Structure 1
Amino acid sequence: MNDDALITLDETSPLAYLARAESEAANPTHIDFSIASVVESIAVIGAGTMGSGIAICALDAGLQVTLVEQDAGALDAGRERILKHYERKLNADDVAERARRLVCTTDWQSLTHVDAVIEAVFEDLAVKQEVFQRIDKLARPGALLASNTSYLDLDGIAGATKRPRDVVGLHFFSPAHVMRLMEVVRGTESSQQSLATAFVLAQRFGKLPVLTRNAFGFIGNRVYSAYRAQCEFMLEEGAYPNEVDATLQAFGFAMGPFAVADMSGLDIAWRMRRNRAASCPTDVRYVDIPDRLCEAGRLGRKTGAGYYQYGAGSKHGQPDDMVKAIIDDARARKGIVPHRLSFEDIRKRALLTMVNEAALLLEEGVAARGPDVDVVLANGYGFPRNQGGPIYWAKAMAPETLSRDLAWLAEVSGTGFKPAGRLDLVLGAG
């Protein structure tokens, strides 16, 4: 093979594609970074795990940080969490320097002088709206107001203020001080200056920012929710959690979706489903297996049981007859006669679902570019980097093959599945 062939191969490899896509995502050409506001001080609302992680990001970036909580006990726990993090990593002088730039308080008046405010409270729209009403009364004019929401309506949050132009979403991934990805969410009224400030701040934090418009779940959680739902369909039809997880691990995922659910906690998604129940259409296929697990107290690793059973202190679950019985009962209640799903069918259904949802995001303008979807999935959701991402994976297929496979996916997925209408947006991406 000559040198030219080697160069061509390298430039079109999944890793080279992702590197280029990441650079382009972090530097969108339509955002004028020169109009960004200067941010040297920041307030983080909420001293929980996420808020503490965001505070660490800001301290590492050299900012003055005010950590605000309404509960003194929670505030003390957050401060201790932050300082212990630094005590494990830095010498005493550097720990002291970080501590001098960190103010922990229950006094919301401290918001009046900071350049930016990031909210990191409980993922509930009414709670976040109440917080933003308080922020709106106190934050100085022109301060960047950001929500760390991972799936809620940013416009609904911004509407709690009299200055929605200053509001953006900054969706950090957990742990916030470790994960590189950040979704920058553009609300309907977010100004160009606010977006520019958000991107510059994200880069100062050492993050990889990806722009998304406001929509349920934005890019990452929207695609992952569809993927997880498809995997739940397959449980109803004949697969078991360990079979689905093993198939996707063989493809290159570090963990399958059910092991991930156990690690995250099944109650998080359960709470979200209950919050959305009233607004969900009744003709959409719904799998209640996760609900039955939660009702049985199986919330994942933290309770020692979820989709798998966990020994004391173990992170590696084992298949459990109780889970098998819950799944078998769910099939029987719906009159489903189970059949064996091949590894190839499991793999194709999971990946094609991601591709279909990515195409819908492009059609709706939630994602600006196909490669942005791949950047989010590869950096935040464990999609194997050596596979490039769902868009990259789909582009290796002939258009007629992809169209045929997605028609098959729609047929096996049942009621409520929305097939993408613009596959050209996928095949022409990147």
Structure 2
Amino acid sequence: MSTVDYAVQSSVAVLTVAYPPVNALSLAVRAGLGEGVARAIADPAVKAIVVIGSGTIFIAGADISEFGTPNSAAEPRLQTLQAQFEASPKPIVAAIHGTALGGGLELALTCHARVAVQSAKVGLPEVKLGLLPGAGGTIRLPRLTGVVVALEAITTGRHIGAVEANKLGIVDAIVFDLKADAIGYALKLAAEGTPPPVRDRNDKITGVDPKVFADFRARAGKKWRGQIAPARIVDVIEAATTRSFDDAKAFENEQFKALMESDQRKALIHYFFAEREARKIPDVPADIKPLPIRKVVVIGSGLMGGGIAMSFANAGIPVKLLDIDAEALARGMGVIRKTYETSLSRGSITQAQLDERFGRIEPVGGYDDLGDVDMAIEAVFEDMALKQKIFALLDKATPPHAILGTNTSSLDIDQIASATTRPDKVIGAHFFSPANVMKLLEAVRGSKTSAETIATVMALGKQIGKAPVLAGNCDGFIGNRMLQYYTVNAEYMLERGATPEQIDRVAEQFGMAMGPLAMRDLAGMAQAVNVRAVRKLTLPADERMPELVERMVEAGRIGQKSSAGFYRYDGRERLPDPAALDLIRAEAQRQGIEQRSFTDEEILARLFHPLVNEGAKELEEGIAIRASDIDVAWVNGYGFPVHTGGPMFWGEQIGLDKVLATARTLGAENGQTRWGPSRLLERLVAEGKGWKDAPALIAAGL
């Protein structure tokens, strides 16, 4: 069967790409399109050409299955096909439904026009893989939209809806009957004269002030936090305004090749597949079908509960927000409405979307009307007795099929489940604040959680736009269990002579949005003292908890709220504070610790190597299924820079032997029981292996 069907209808050659599942630009598709265009040009009865996709999508980008094979570079290559399209004396119209992303849109940009159904989306998402559009996207798109729109669209890689794409000039018309209307549009162009190809349209890239690019770099550069692809994209778009098309295209080719060879591209490719792999649970049979979740109740109307409710409402799922405190419930609904109104003022949602989403959230003051929910999610503060009381009430109030989820960040799932008659339906559903924004959903299985419950919550995570990861049941699960090594080790380094400014600068230059000490100040330290008091009770005998947070609180320095913590604050601006350094030195002297200087490299290792070591322990214990699952958790829940691939991938790239050396050093300094090397890490280094070898070693008992 041909991958491109050729038919003539009303004097228009219709080339239908039929290469399921996503009509990727394989060699067979490229050849079929090239032959179809040549045939149409040679046929005097054909006045115009329409390119359309079969199935649910227009045309995807490159065929991943051909990467590294001779087919990927065989003629016609994509750029050869594009040149053929642009040289056609007969107008070619791209008829877009589903999505036209990456190479699919780049091919469409070489058609003389583009029409799309209202539900279609277009975009150039290559930046998310550490690349730039390599088939002329950075050179052609600004010729349609202008440079300001192109800069934002390509450096973010966002998907653009057809209606917006029409307003921006990417799509020429919104149509209803895709094939029929595309044929009509093609005949119209044929009658009026074939328009110039996009490559020859220069009005929107002529006379652009270089300040536009300088301003964009200054404004957006902080968001990139170490990523190289966005900066290269800006360089190429700027070149499109100062060079000929061919020279700018050559520059695009050069920059694309450099990015293809970069470590960031490898890391981002790893992460792309890691998110998808995390949804696959080895011991959940493929024939287990997720339960439909048509209505949800969230218990607790604070910031977390409200954010969770918004996550469901935004995905089209009706949700009840339950709080027995009427004032708190009213306050929570007010915060939700204000959050939506802020989104409206920024232009990210319309008034109709605000009304629709807010209307899906129903405030309720008790447990009497929960007979129609398919899932409950408890989001109250971390108190085991309170959570057990709520789960006992939910057990009685919700239908027997309903899943009972807890948003706990560290408490024992089995203890919570013991308050119910359906422990198989109980699961951790740990969202991250703000829940309506953060992508991670850490699903936590208890000892009796059923495969059906796991399958349902993992599918639900994807449905509501989250990146779900399954964790085992332990203190802190995957992410928070590791977090303490990042924050506490920063305090150990302060005691030994590093400054808050140096530690946070190293973390932020690495790619973290905020360093660990600035994060402490933002969160506020008073509550941390209470949490640490509990944690100290279970510390092993060979470990000492630093007490700098306690000293800060005793001095009235609780963080940004008091305008003083590890820094002093003028509004939100953080400033070095000699008083904080004096307090740190005094505590070091009290503990008998001699202070010294640290290099940036040593600080980087001491901040992030312990995450990798603890991640290895989680793999040993079965808390995490795969090393890449840990990467997904830390990128989406803790802001670990995605261009590193996540902590586990990064650790392997820099060398697990270096991670092991740091673990040995910190074990000797801070206590071997928790800070010393994992057995898995020691075996992997000894045998010169990596994370892909971990499952076999673990299965063999190390």
TM-score class, shorter = over 0.9
For residue 379 of structure 1, what is the aligned residue in structure 2?
636
Q: What residue is the counterpart of 1:165 in the other structure?
A: 424
Q: Is the Cα contact below 8 Å between 1:66 and 1:110 reproduced in 2?
A: no
Partner residue in 2 for 1:295: 554
Tell me the CA shift for residue 47 of structure 1.
0.4
* Greater mean deviation of Cα atoms: 235-244 or 190-199: 235-244
Alignment partner, residue 665 of structure 2? 408
Whole-Å separation in 2 of the counterparts to 1:405 and 1:282? 21
Q: What is the RMSD computed on CA atoms of the aligned residues?
A: 2.4
376, 379, 382: which is aligned to 1:117? 376
* 1:38 has 2:292 as partner: yes
Give CA-to-partner distance per residue, 1:101-146, whole Å, 9 cap, x none: 3211112112232110000101222221222122122121020100
Q: Are residue 242 (structure 1) and residue 501 (structure 2) matched? A: yes
Match of 1:152 in 2: 411
| Structure 2 match to 1:217 | 476
Residue 81 of structure 1 is matched in structure 2 by 335
Quickly say closer, same or farther: Cα 1:91–1:422, change in 2 above 3 A. Answer: closer
Greater shift in the superposed pair: 144-153 or 277-286 = 277-286
CA apart distance, 1:94: 3.4
Q: Give deviations 1:239-282, integer Å, cap 9, x for gaps.
A: 12111111222222221101111122223432221233433334
Distance 1:40 1:380 in 2: 26
2:268 to 15, 30, 46: 15
Q: Does 1:274 align with 2:533?
A: yes
Which amino acid counterpart does residue 70 of structure 1 have in structure 2? Answer: I
Alpha-carbon offset, residue 397 of structure 1? 4.2
Percent identity (aligned): 39
Please say if residues 268 and 645 of structure 2, whose CA atoms lie closer than 8 Å, have aligned partners that are also in contact.
Answer: yes
- Aligned equivalents of 1:91 and 1:397: distance in 2? 46
**1:224-263 equivalent positions in 2, closer than 5 A:** 224-263=483-522
Partner SS, residue 319 of structure 2: strand
Is the Cα contact below 8 Å between 1:262 and 1:299 reproduced in 2?
Answer: yes
Equivalent residue of 2:546, what SS?
A: coil
Aligned-pair CA distance for 1:408: 2.6
Q: 2:613 aligns with which of 346, 350, 356?
A: 356
1:421 alignment partner in structure 2:
679
Is the deviation greater in 398-407 or in 296-305? 398-407
Counterpart secondary structure, 2:369: helix
Aligned mates of 1:351, 1:47 — CA distance in 2: 35
Distance of aligned partners of 1:294 and 1:84 in 2 relative to their CA distance in 1, 3 Å threshold? same
2:76: which partner in 1? none
- Conserved? CA contact 1:171–1:182, under 8 Å: yes
Separation in 1 of the partners of 2:504 and 2:569?
Answer: 16
Q: Is the 8 A contact 2:298 2:376 kept in 1?
A: yes
Structure 1, unpaired ranges of 5+: none
Among candidates 339, 342, 366, match of residue 107 of structure 1: 366
CA contact (8 A) 2:504 2:514 kept: yes
Aligned residue for 1:396, secondary structure, equals helix
Q: Is the contact made by 1:363 and 1:425 (CA closer than 8 Å) also made in structure 2?
A: no
- Structure 1 pair 129/277, CA: closer, same or farther in 2 (3 Å)? farther
Local SS of the residue matching 1:253 = coil
1-side partners of 2:493 and 2:406: how far apart?
Answer: 35
CA distance in 1, matches of 2:558, 2:388: 28
- Distance in structure 2 (CA, Å) of the matches to 1:400 and 1:60: 45
Q: Flag the 1:267–1:33 CA change in 2: closer, same or farther, 3 A.
A: farther
Q: 1:399 to 1:63 in 2, by over 3 A?
A: closer
Q: Which amino acid aligns with 1:134?
A: L
Structure 1 CA distance for aligned equivalents of residues 661 and 535 of structure 2: 33
Change over 3 Å in CA distance of 1:402–1:337 after alignment to 2: closer
SS in structure 2 at match of 1:339: coil
8 Å CA contact 1:311, 1:317 repeated in 2: yes
Cα deviation digits, residues 40-97 of structure 1 (max 9, x gap): 0100000000111111111111112111001101000111122222334244443333
Superposed displacement of residue 163, structure 1: 1.4
SS of 1:13 mapped into structure 2: helix
Q: Distance in 2 between matches of 1:284 and 1:114?
A: 46
Distance across 2 between alignment mates of 1:33 and 1:323: 59
* Aligned residue in 2 for 1:188: 447
TM-score when scaled to structure 1? 0.93
Q: Which runs of 5+ in 2 are unaligned?
A: 1-69, 74-255, 693-702
Deviates more, 1:47-56 or 1:292-301: 292-301
Q: What is the distance in 1 between the residues matched to 2:611 and 2:649?
A: 11
- 8 Å contact from structure 1 (residues 46, 68) kept in 2: yes
Q: Provide runs of 4+ in structure 1 moved above 6 Å.
A: 2-5
Partners of 2:656 and 2:478 in 1: CA distance: 24
3-state SS of the aligned residue for 2:575?
Answer: coil
**Which residue in the other structure is 2:279 paired with?**
26
1:333 pairs with 2:587: no
Q: Do the aligned partners of 1:111 and 1:117 also contact (CA within 8 Å) in 2?
A: no
Contact 2:504 2:518 in 1 (8 A): yes
Pick the structure with greater CA Rg: 2
- Contact preservation (8 Å) 1:230, 1:413: no
User: What CA distance in whole angstroms lies between the structure 2 residues aligned with 1:28 and 1:323?
Assistant: 47
| Distance in 2, Cα, partners of 1:352 & 1:402 | 5
Aligned residues: 427
Residue identity opposite 1:262 in structure 2: D
Question: Is 2:307 aligned against 1:56?
Answer: no
Indicate how the Cα distance of structure 1 residues 118 and 30 shifts in structure 2: closer, same or farther if over 3 A, else same. same
Kindly indicate whether residue 572 of structure 2 is the aligned counterpart of residue 318 of structure 1.
Answer: no
- Relative to structure 1, the CA distance from residue 286 to residue 76 in structure 2 (aligned partners, 3 Å threshold; closer, same or farther) is same
Q: Is residue 132 from structure 1 mapped to residue 391 from structure 2 by the alignment?
A: yes
Aligned to 2:380, the other structure's residue is in SS state coil
Q: Deviations over 1:376-408 (max 9, x none)?
A: 112221212222222112212455444334323
Counterpart contact for 2:663–2:676, Cα < 8 Å: no
Aligned letter for 1:13?
A: K
One-letter amino acid matched to 1:22:
E
- 1:216 to partner: Cα distance: 0.8
The partner residue of 2:459 within 195, 200, 223 is 200
Q: Within 2, Cα distance between the matches of 1:87 and 1:405?
A: 48
Distance in 1 separating the partners of 2:338 and 2:659: 50
The CA distance in 2 between the partners of 1:52 and 1:402, in whole Å, is 40
* Contact preservation (8 Å) 1:226, 1:353: yes
Counterpart CA distance in 2 for 1:402 and 1:85 is 42
C-alpha distance in 2, partners of 1:402/1:273?
Answer: 26
User: For 2:657 and 2:513, how far apart are their aligned partners in 1?
Assistant: 31
User: Structure 2: how far apart are the matches of 1:114 and 1:167?
Assistant: 15
Q: Letter of the 1:376 partner, please give it.
A: A
Cα distance in 2, alignment partners of residues 398 and 355 from structure 1: 11
Structure 2 equivalent of residue 70 of structure 1: 324
For the Cα contact (< 8 Å) 1:370–1:425, is it kept in 2? Answer: no
Maintained 8 Å contact 1:10/1:16? no
